[in-house]
Amino acid sequence: MTDAELAALVGHRFPGGEYTITHWENALLTDCTERAPMADDLAHPIALFHVPIQGVGISIGELFELGGTDGRAGSVSLRGYDWEYLRPLRERCRYRVDGGIVSAERTSDVHGKPVHDDIAFSIELFEPDGGLTARVTNHWRFVR
């Protein structure tokens, strides 16, 4: 990937879509964390690991492809993620999901050869009334 191609990723929008956290899905997520179900149809926060990516209409493989890798061992690492909860995350709520790439930066060695690219994408979940429920920003490193 050239420097220009990397820079052009910023502003790339994902297809977008909708996602509803089902009761059984929330029960499994809660169970795997060895916690009791939460009251009032609250969804377990761990849902933000997969709900945004599935809801926005992109796969992990497609994210790898955007970053210029096939996902081979050692080619991608997670540098961090930020989860912002602005409203409670709930079961059976049909969320509208939108997002895209918000930053892309290259680090090169002293000879100008690319060492890695840091790419961040942000995905937002909106309730039917249009209110922003959550924002997830993931920071990935693509090793060159």
What confidence tens digit (pLDDT) does each residue in 24-50 have?
999 999 988 888 888 889 999 999 999
Q: Name the residue ranges covered by the structural domains of the chain.
A: 3-143
Tokens of 84: 């912002």
- What's the mean pLDDT in 14-26? 96
Contact 123, 97 (CB under 8 A): yes
Check whether 128 has a pLDDT greater than 90.
yes
Residue whose tokens read 């796969």? 59
| Average pLDDT along the chain | 95
Per-residue pLDDT tens digits for 58-97: 999 999 999 999 999 999 999 999 999 999 999 999 999 9
Q: Does position 107 have pLDDT exceeding 90, yes or no?
A: yes
Mean pLDDT of 125-142: 98
Average pLDDT over residues 53-58: 97
| CA–CA distance, 51 with 89 (Å, rounded to integer) | 11
| CATH T-level fold of 3-143 | Thiol Ester Dehydrase; Chain A (3.10.129)
Given this model, what pLDDT does residue 37 score? 81
The percent of residues in the chain predicted with pLDDT above 70, rounded, is 100
Q: What is the mean pLDDT of residues 119-140?
A: 98
